[in-house]
Each structure stands twice: as structure tokens, then as C-alpha cells.
Structure 1
Amino acid sequence: MDVAYASASDIAAAVRRGDRSPVAVVDAVLDRIERRNDRLNAYAEVAADAARERAADIERAIDDGRPVGPLAGVPVALKESAASKAGLLRTMGSVPFRDTVSRTDSTVVTRLEAAGAVIVGTTNTPELDHKATTDNPLRGPTRNPFDLSRNAGGSSGGSAAAVADGLAPVAHGKDAGGSLRIPAAWSGVYAFKPTFRRVPDVTRPDGFADELGIRSTHGPITRSVRDAALVLDVIGGHHPRDPSSLPDGPASYRAAVERPIDDLTVAYTPDYGTFPVDRELQETVEDAVEAFGDAGATVEPVEVQIGYTHAELTDAWTTLVGANLAAMNEWLARHDDVDLLRDHREEMTDSLVALLESGTRTTATEYLHHHVVRTAVHDAIEDVFEEYDLLVSPTVCHPPVENATEGSTLGPAEIDGEPVDPRIGWCPTFLLNFTGHPAASVPAGTVGEGLPVGLQIAGPRFADTQVIAASAAFERVRPWADRYRTETAARI
């Protein structure tokens, strides 16, 4: 078994059978990280000693005949800014937090480890997750495994790059505007954003933080749909300490992988009626959409009528995020005597400073008025789902951009001559965070000199298994697994 490109499902099965030592699996992944991460910059911190100890514990359990769980011995990378693991740093890519260490484990970490997973480290993110590219002044950019001069996407960019380059079979991410799907699209991997709070998130001091803001969601990044379903079976399910947590979901996401889709109707939008899209990228996605018809589904173009321009939609997202960041900063100033704008302005990237400053000027009424925009998005998407089972589109509107320096990498400032907000205005993914619908990004092909392109698959709320089934059907018709060996191996 070549651990670098082995699936999590195969690793776990081999470990449970005793055919593969979990210690050997972890050693192989750690060795690959040591050889390749310096240039890729996917990991923020590598927990080598703790991972080896954990793998040895799992091996002893197997030798003793004790159960080890569905993720037995599977190395998993955590998005550093979004999941805490006691004893590991939680810097959020920001110089002011460079020495912050987590004291407890996040719920998602507890569930992963209870299922036998081995946390091998944490992955790089943009500073305070404020943009859709992964670059920060503390660690620099995460490079795209398909072209090291370009960015891996964000904000779960380190996680996506690690999975694409064989530095972990599974990585965790969290998605507040596309942070799972955007880097998956740019890095050529699969990501799944569940229905809001299908995967619980026990946040404190504010347990209701996402209810009135952007609906952020934990989810997996993998190289196959089956592996994502395996992880969702582990991390999903109700949690009483999360006031927004949904009741337990489907009995098995993995069962949905084999479901045919010849009874489904698929709507295709190239732009959600308002986003400019790179021409070559759109052509690649339109070709990929034909895979659903090849799998037996009915595919039709559709006009999504939101009633707002892409600039107005982006402004709503940035306003909500800026206000949330400003509220966090005010909490820090009150309780820890740390004011990022007052004490650390020069240490932060200009784009984050601008977002924090705009957040301080946002009134409560302005904040709530943006929920009218969210409502319009929700209604427009629900209009589609009244007639169709799925809504597919480009995941993002532009191919991977070149990396900058000192944490300043941003997305494109214009597409086809039309200005877009370089922080996230080229990412219609955030529309599904306004609404909480489940959505995935599948590798749809490449543009230019082999740069990955993603196709987004969205479904009605609670129809997570439907999105999984469609993703798996797409993967059967347009398999992408061999691309990692042929495209990424020669680049590092």
C-alpha cells in the first residue's frame, strides 16, 4: 500500500485486519510531510511525537482484540484556526496569537479520535480566516501542489494542499464562505460542506455565534467521495451543547455513495445570474456538467434570480464577517486587554485591518438589514429546488492566482474586465453559507497548464446524502484519483 495516495477507507480496513501497522502508516505520512512540506507550506504544526504515541496505542488495542473504530489508524490534519487540539498551537495565522496554545479538544477532534483517527498536525490558513486565499504574515502562503507559484485557495488551504499532495488522506476544514470548497477547487480535491449544524460546533463564550451571522460548518477534505462519507459518519450527529445542532442525520453517508442518480433532476447555473466567470474555467465546468447526464440524471440550464448584483452580495458577506471580527476584537479588549487595531495594527495584513475597521463602523441595524439579502438568496435557491433536486455551478469563478509576499496574497481584482472584491467576490460559494444548504466541490478538470477547476454541487437543506450520491456518481463517470500521481509528484 502506497500510504501517500491510499484512501482513508483502505487504510482503516487494513489496520483493523492487522494487515498494516498504524505506526507504519503514521511514520510514512510524517516522513512525506518532512520531505515535502517545506516547499508546500501546508502544515502549520506537525505533532509527530503525539501522533506516533497515538498510533502505538491503537496498535496495542488491536493486538488486545479491543475495538478501534471506523477511522482506525487514519492520519488526519486539522485546520489550525478552526479546531482545537489540546497542546497544539492555535495562532489563526496571526502574529498577535503566535504563542496561543489550545487547552481543550474541539468536539470534532473528540469524535475523530474516538473513531480511531490519528491527528498528525494542524494546517495553514489566512489570518483570522478573513479571505479566500491561504497566506498570512506568520507563515506565508500555502502553495498549490499543481503549480508552486500559485495559491492553494482558502481558508482551509493548508488542509486541501496536504490532501492533494499525499501529506494526509483526510483533512478537516471549516467553511464560512467557501473555506472547504474554494481550496478544494483550486487544489483538485473533494470537499463537503454539510447542512448547517449537521456537524455540531460547541463554541464558547458565544454558543449562538453562527445563528445571526455567516453559517459556518465543519467538514472533510479528501481525495474520494467515499472517504468524505466515512468521515461524515463519524463527525455528524446531534450534540446537546450546541444550541443550533440538528437532530441525528442519516444512518450512513457511506450508503449514499452507491446510490444511482437516474431519478434526479440537475439544474446548472454558470454564474448564479450575477457573478463574472473566467471564460476557460466556465467551458471546463460546462463540459464536466455533462457527467451527470452520463450518470443517468436529467440536466437543464436554469436562471437563478437573486435580485442583487455580485458586488451587493459580496458587500453583505464582508459586512457580516467584518462585524463578527470586530465583536471578537472588542471581547479581547474587554477581557484580555488586547486590542488588535490599537496594539497590533502593523503586524496584520492590510486586508484584515480594513475588514476590522469596517466592522467597527457597522451598526446593529445595518447588520440585521443584511439578513434581507440573505433571505433573497435563500428564496432564489429554494425557487430552483422547487423544480430540481440539485443545483450545480462553478465552485469559484477564477483559476488559482499567483502567490504574493508577507501574507498579502488575494484573489483576482477583476474577471473578464469586471471588478470583483479580491477577498471573496470571485466565490459564489458564500451564497450557500447565507442559506445553510449542503454543498460539495468535485474536481471538474483543469485549465491553462494543468490548474485545477472545481464544480459545486448543492442540494436542498437536509439532503446531504443526495449531494453525496451525486458527487459519487460524478466521480464514477469522471474519476480524478490518478491525477494526483501524474500532476503533483513532479512538482516538488
Structure 2
Amino acid sequence: MASSQQRFSSYPQAREGPQTTSTYAEESIPPLRGWPLVLAANAVTRLPFLAGVTWTNARFGGIKDIPGLEQYDYRFHVGYQYSTDDSELSRLAVTSELFPPQPEDLVGRFYSTSDYHELYKTGKLTPLQVAKALIPLISREHAGKYVSAWTDTHAEAVLAAAKASTERYRQGKPLGLLDGVPVGVKEDTDVAGYTSYYGQRPEPSDPAFVPATKSLWPVAQLQAAGAVVVGTLAMHELGSDVTGCNPRRGSPKNWYNTSYYTGGSSSGAGSALSAGLVPIAIGTDAGGSIRIPSSFCGMYGLKPTLHRTHAMKSSICVIGPLAATTADLTIAYRLMTAPNPDDAIQSSFAPSIPPSPSAKKTIGICRGWNDRASSAVSKSTQQAIDYFVGKLGYSVVDINIPYLQEGQWAHGAWALAEALDHLRSRLRGRSSYSINHCNEILMTVSGCTAATDMIKYSQMRALLMEHLAFLFKKYPGLLIVTPTVPEAGWKIHPGDEAYGFSDANLTMRMMMYIWLANSTGCPAVTVPVGYAESEQGEGKLPIGLMAMGEWGAEEQLLSWAAEAEGYLNGALDGGRVRPKEWADVVRLAGEVDLESS
């Protein structure tokens, strides 16, 4: 695949960074649970010096003395402008011919958009039957079995959308492949009529939380294609950690093993997908919040190039799809990235171009980084890489990425600074707000970040972006491949639901591989490639493999993900695994009374 540099302005200078070896010093913040967490939250919020000590212990100031960092320009934003080329739009088609259903006898098969579309076209099922089957499973009014994944479901609106879709199919005029297909949307992304709670549990009269008057562009594009948004999906409060534990609202279940977290912050999305309730979910990702739950829940997740689907008020966060299959990940991505005429940044992107069949296939491995994964994760991910090399013609090159731990510190502090600003912006002049004890600590500590520290973080970003540009120039079409997370899962500790917990050491470890794509704005995709035995509970734990590509290389990543899906379904011993409590939505929908539909 040819480099995309000629299509971008403001592309980073291709400059190799220093040859460094990160020592990965252990963080010095002890885990906090129960009453120690409550006492710590009260102490940190009331004693400024203690907040400063905690900020220092988190090493958020650890990059200011790096020699040579002052040589780099400030990069407070990725800041690309992309040239458009209408002749390439045909490459982004979404048709049934491009996305046929998977074989019906496939082991561990999940229902896809194409399955629903085929059932609707042939009259074997209707969108209304599917909606009526789902509502009792996901709504709080019915105390549904899978309600932990969902924040809200507006049954009347869901049924109305499903009825309209059913009528279109009856007339032989569906809007396209996605018409009538159920989807879910993370609750920090506006859906018309729904309230974005950001994982918080506000008072009913809180003026900061009101229903959205219209859906955000990426969601609106799915709705315009006929998708039925069956509800909003739960999330980690403020999106501030990667477990999905939410003591005030309840934590979504990981249906592969309910003794482990789903991952966060798009925790409800991972739960709903692993349960088989929807084939597509929309999430957000500022620090792995699409990719980590996708990995923990055995799903596919795409973090697009910064602003590719919507120009958010963030320099690290994106809106992107999670899905049960790579076909659905591609369908969602292509629809979500339709140019928005009211968004000057998003609409300036050129369509991402699929790689040529003759393009050289290159995987970059940073050995010291990848080797920090657990033995179970390392074994599964290496087997998948061996398949790419032995069966699909990929070559492997060893690469170096400088300042991996220092860059992660900078990203962590940056992410928390943005989270604090977003929280304050929603207060609308109020001086107080209600968040859990963990977030009281995080938001207070985040307030210690000085402007001079943000400048150094921006220079670290510039260094990393220029080094990546150097690698992409040296190896055109390079995909940097790592485990998605270094552990197969995150165990639920007894009592976590009472107050939540804070474990900065494990949080930073779980984010070890994902932060780089957020910090630099590059796209990345995660795919399931294996399963590990669990240490508690019942059920195996999914293992994810991640590839990060050049800015604008989403279609290349999706092609790679499809190849990885071939490995999972056809080469992995035992194939894909479905959770024991997987919901057979098609069967349940078929039991809905046709006369009432």
C-alpha cells in the first residue's frame, strides 16, 4: 500500500526518534477499595498538597526533563487537513454483494447485518419481530436479563422505527443493507430523544442532563440507512478508566465470564455484542475505550483516525464502531464516515483506500514492548502473527518506538485533563457535581496539571508522530502489531460494586499498547485471535490482537481484520467461541406472534 503522505497537509516531518529503551518502572500508587478508597477521595479533594503528591507519584511530570524534547514543535492537536477525491467514493460501497452472510455451519457464529437483511428480504422475519424480541431482554421496565449493558430504551420509538422498516421491506423498498438492523449507541454520543449521562447518575432535576434534540452525525448516518437504535449503552463513569466498573449505575456483564469486567469505557457495547443482542455498537475511544472492551468481550473494534467520523472537542478521542464481525465493522465505518457538510474538518477527509492486492504486506514488531504481555496473551497473539506470515504473505520487520512509558504518562495526564474540562463544561456554572469516589480522586489530581506540562506533552506527541511518519515512509503500508491488552481479562474483586476501586498500576498496564494511537491520532483495529483459561468464574477469556496503521489507513486495517477473522474461524483450534448465555435473537424473534406484527 502506498504511503498516504501526498494526500495530507500538515503531515508530520518524517524524522527518526531517539533509540531508547523504556524501563517500565512500576507505578507507586497503591490500589484502593472500600473505606480506604472513600477516605482517600475525601483527603485528596480537601488537601491540595496530597493531590499534588498523587500527581507526582503517577509520574505525570516525568517527561519534562527528557533531553532534546525542546527541539520539537508543540502539537496540541493532530491538526490534519485531508484532500478529497470524489473518484474514490465508489470504493466505500455498502452492498449485499460485498458483504454476504457467513456460512451457517460456522462454529461460534454471530448474527450479522447480512443475516438480518436476508431474513427481512425473504419475509422469514421482520424488523418489528426483532424489536419486539429485544425489548424485554434489554429494558429496565421488563427487568431484562441483559439490561446491565443498557442505559435506556425508548420502546415506543424503537417499535415505530421497526414498523417503518418492516413496511419498507413489505413494499420491496428497503433503504439498504442496514435497514431494520438493531444497533446500540454508547451513552456519551447523542441520539435524538435520549439523554447522554456519561456514566453518571444525576438527580432527576439536574439541568446538565437533557435529551438530545438530534442524533450526532455518525449515529444519524446509521439511522438514515434504516438502522434501528434499540437503546443507549452503559459506560464507565466519565470514561475515566478501562474496567467498566460503575458502582453508581451498575456494571455491564461480560458474558464470556461474568466474573471478569467487560473493559471500558464502552462497557455496555462490549456486553451487548458478546451477548449477541446487536451486531453493531457505536463507542468512543480516548484511551482504548473501543478496543479494550472489544478485546475483553471477543469482538472487533475500530478506532478511526482522529476526527474521521466526527470532529469532537478532543485531541485524542474518536467515535467508532464495535461489531461482532469484520463485515459489520466495515459497514458501520463506511456509513459513519459520509462527509458531513456542517463539519469542515470531518468533511475534508478523503475516503480511505483499500490496499491493492499486489501491495507489500509488512508487520512491524517492537519486541521489548510486545514481550511485556502475559504468557497466555503472548502465545495466542504470536500464533496469529505466524499465520499472517506463513499463510498470508506478510513479512515482519523489527522496529523501535522511543519513550513508550514516558509517552504513556503524557497521554494519561492529557486524557484526564480533557475529562476534567468536559466535566466542568457540562456543569453550566455550578460549582459542585456528583461523581464516584474514584473519579473524585482522578479529577482532583488532574487539576494539578500545569500549562507547562501540557506543552511538554505536546512535544512528546510531536516526537512520536514524526517517528511514526519515519516508519511509515521507510515501510510503506506498515502495520504496527501488538496485543490489544497484555492480559486476557480483568478479574472482578468482591465488593467492587459498593464503591468502585482505583488501581492505577493495572490501569496503566492494560493501556500499555492502546495509548499510542490516541496520542498520535493514528487508526487502529482489534480482532479476537484466541482464548485463555480463567482464574475464576466459568468461561474462557477472549484474547485480542491489534494493528495500528498510518493516518487514513482504516480500509487497510479492515482488510487485515478480515484476514484475522479467517484465522479465527478457519485456522484456530476449536474456532470461535460463543458465550454460554448468548441470546439467539433470530430464534426469539421467530417466536413473536406474526399477527401482532
Identify the match of residue 292 of structure 1 among 385, 388, 396. Answer: 388
Q: How does 1:338-417 map to 2 (within 5 A)?
A: 338-339=430-431, 343-344=432-433, 347-385=434-472, 386-387=474-475, 389-403=478-492, 404-406=496-498, 408-409=500-501
| Percent of residue pairs identical | 26
Contact 1:261 1:469 in 2 (8 A): no
Task: Find the aligned partners of 2:499 and 2:169 in 1 and give their Cα distance.
Answer: 44
Aligned to 1:281: 377
1:436 aligns with 2:521: yes
Aligned to 1:55: 162
Q: Give the TM-score normalised by structure 2.
A: 0.70
Aligned to 2:578: 485
Identify the match of residue 321 of structure 1 among 415, 420, 433. Answer: 415
Q: Is the alpha carbon distance of 1:5 and 1:476 closer, same or farther for their aligned partners in structure 2, counting shifts above 3 Å? A: closer
Structure 2: gaps (5+ residues): 1-100, 535-539, 584-597
- 1:374 alignment partner AA: R
Task: Find the aligned partners of 1:338 and 1:457 in 2 and give their Cα distance.
Answer: 42
Deviations 1:438-461 (A, max 9, x none): 110000111223211100011111
- 1:469 alignment partner AA: S
The Cα shift of 1:301 comes to 4.8
Secondary structure in structure 2 of the residue aligned to 1:219: strand
Contact 1:164 1:484 in 2 (8 A): no
Deviations 1:283-342 (A, max 9, x none): 221112122124423232523221x252x3332122212222332344345xx2323xxx
Aligned to 2:6: none
- 1:135 alignment partner AA: C
Aligned to 1:267: 364
Q: Is the alpha carbon distance of 1:482 and 1:103 closer, same or farther for their aligned partners in structure 2, counting shifts above 3 Å? A: same
Task: Find the aligned partners of 1:410 and 1:270 in 2 and give their Cα distance.
Answer: 30
Aligned residues: 458
Deviations 1:17-42 (A, max 9, x none): 54431111222333443699546721
Secondary structure in structure 1 of the residue aligned to 2:260: strand
Q: Select the structure with the greater relative contact order (CA < 8 A; seq sep ≥ 6).
A: 2
Contact 1:398 1:426 in 2 (8 A): no
Aligned to 2:85: none
Secondary structure in structure 1 of the residue aligned to 2:364: strand
Task: Find the aligned partners of 2:358 and 2:294 in 1 and give their Cα distance.
Answer: 23
Secondary structure in structure 2 of the residue aligned to 1:391: strand
The Cα shift of 1:126 comes to 0.7
- CA radius of gyration, larger in: 2
Q: Is the alpha carbon distance of 1:249 and 1:9 closer, same or farther for their aligned partners in structure 2, counting shifts above 3 Å? A: farther
Secondary structure in structure 2 of the residue aligned to 1:137: coil
Q: Is the alpha carbon distance of 1:159 and 1:262 closer, same or farther for their aligned partners in structure 2, counting shifts above 3 Å? A: same
Q: Is the alpha carbon distance of 1:261 and 1:191 closer, same or farther for their aligned partners in structure 2, counting shifts above 3 Å? A: farther
1:234 aligns with 2:330: no
- 1:279 alignment partner AA: S
Q: How does 1:15-164 map to 2 (within 5 A)?
A: 15-16=120-121, 18-33=123-138, 38=145, 41-81=148-188, 83-96=189-202, 100-104=209-213, 105-164=215-274
Identify the match of residue 244 of structure 1 among 321, 327, 345. Answer: 345
Deviations 1:416-468 (A, max 9, x none): xxxx3526764321110111111100001112232111000111111111111
Secondary structure in structure 1 of the residue aligned to 2:576: helix
Task: Find the aligned partners of 2:579 and 2:445 in 1 and give their Cα distance.
Answer: 45
The Cα shift of 1:410 comes to 5.3
Structure 1: gaps (5+ residues): 204-208, 414-419
- 2:481 alignment partner AA: V
The Cα shift of 1:486 comes to 5.7
Q: Is the alpha carbon distance of 1:361 and 1:239 closer, same or farther for their aligned partners in structure 2, counting shifts above 3 Å? A: same
The Cα shift of 1:280 comes to 2.1
Task: Find the aligned partners of 1:394 and 1:271 in 2 and give their Cα distance.
Answer: 13
- 1:10 alignment partner AA: D
Q: Give the TM-score normalised by structure 1.
A: 0.85
Aligned to 2:551: 461
Aligned to 2:50: none
Q: How does 1:192-271 map to 2 (within 5 A)?
A: 192-201=302-311, 203=312, 209-210=313-314, 213-214=315-316, 216-250=317-351, 263-269=360-366
Contact 1:193 1:218 in 2 (8 A): yes
Structure 1 runs of 4+ with >6 Å offset = none
